[in-house]
Amino acid sequence: MSVSIGGRTPRKQASNALADAQLPRLIELWLLIAAAIVVGGTLLLVGFNLAVWAVLTAVVYVIAIGVASRLVENRRKAVDRVVRALVTIAFLLAVIPLISTLWTVVAKGIGQLNWTFITQTGAAHFDPTTLEVTTAPGALQAVVGTLEITGIATVISVPIGLLTAIYLVEYSLPSSPLRRIVTFLVDVMTGIPSIVAGLFAFSLFALIVGPKAFSGLSAAVALSVLMIPIVVRASEEMLRLVPDELREASYALGVTKALTIVKIVLRTAVSGIVTGIVLAVARVIGETAPIFIAASFTDNFNANPLSGPMQTLPVLAYTGYKFPGHDIVASNQAAWGAALLLVILVVIFNVIARVVAQFFAPKTGR
């Protein structure tokens, strides 16, 4: 019997579907463990295979969490749990190769990576008493070559890419033919294979200095061809994110367009621009084919980027396996040490970029 209050009958409170029965908090973890045990026990009877076990465990887990959620909760919650499970599985599939690669590089390169390896040049030593030739691995020439070639490529690419982005965002009109041409060329350069960039740089320097055109500068030009479109795209997107109100406020105060770009637009977007530059550096620092073609390789120390072949860490890792010396074991160890050292350099550059980006990021607090 309903009781009227003030002549009105109170409306029955609707049930909240989201507040209905729910599965236990750790049910996803327990179902995953149960699926792994059941699938593993079944495979032990017919022959265990790690890859098959992982795939079947994922399939059984997705089915189990979907059925359990549908029986206890509701259809929307069941779909949510199934989709989350599929997204998690996709994430793990993407992360597993990365973790496997890092683990392999660290496990095989950590024994070779030491201060002597970093600060000395690889060389062969002859012992007159035992008449044995021993190879002392070293990566100094590769470290210097990597830093010089990548640094020169960055010096070439950043001004060109940044100025191109400023033209596209701040000066060019949407209907400008030059804008369409520049955008088309940047798109084409984005898809250029790295070996084509190396062939271009070597051919260019061969026309200028002759057939013996191997040099660090030639390799830097090849890398800059790969870096420029990345810098342009990253800088262009960051400049477009700067609110137009900031530009209009600057113009209202009588500030010129060039000074507005330098003082307002670039200062606001510098955090994202630095991140884009670091991504471009990380893109090219591990390149092997263009450097191998344009700068060749050498075991001798050469810090002159204008003359003679130069060595880099990715090329040292490649040649250590492809063209090992008399001591094959030492060459392979040097290759793994160079690979690990290259990973460490990339991590250091990313940390520096994060610090710089955080320092120059716009302050939103009062």
Give the pLDDT confidence score for residue 87 in this predicted structure.
92
DSSP at 5? B
Work out the burial of residue 143: count CB atoms within 10 Å of its CB; fewer than 13 is exposed, 13-18 middle, 19 or more buried: buried
Contact in structure between 83 and 52 (CB atoms under 8 Å): no
Residue extent(s) of CATH 1.10.3720.10 domains in the chain: 132-360
Helices (H), the chain: 27-46, 50-72, 75-109, 115-119, 140-166, 177-190, 194-209, 216-240, 244-252, 257-260, 266-285, 289-294, 313-322, 328-360
Report the alpha-carbon distance of residue 68 to residue 198 in Å, rounded: 57
Residue 19, pLDDT score:
53
- How many alpha carbons lie under 13 Å from residue 38 in its C-beta half-sphere? 13
Written as one letter, the residue type at 53 is: W
Find the angle CA(90)-CA(91)-CA(94) to the nearest 5 degrees. 90
Distance CA 234, CA 271 (A): 11
| Whether pLDDT at 270 is above 50 | yes
pLDDT at residue 21 is higher than 80:
no
Query: Whole-model pTM above 0.85?
Result: no
Q: Is pLDDT of 318 > 70? A: yes
116-157 pLDDT per residue, tens: 888 887 655 545 565 455 566 778 888 899 999 999 999 999
Between helices 140-166 and 216-240, what is the axis angle to 10°? 40
What's residue 15's pLDDT?
47
The whole-number average pLDDT for the span 327-353 is: 84
Q: Which fold has domain 132-360?
A: MetI-like fold (1.10.3720)
Residue range 180-189: average pLDDT? 90
Tens digit of each residue's pLDDT (9 = 90 or more) over 219-269 = 999 999 999 999 999 999 999 999 889 899 999 988 888 899 988 898 888
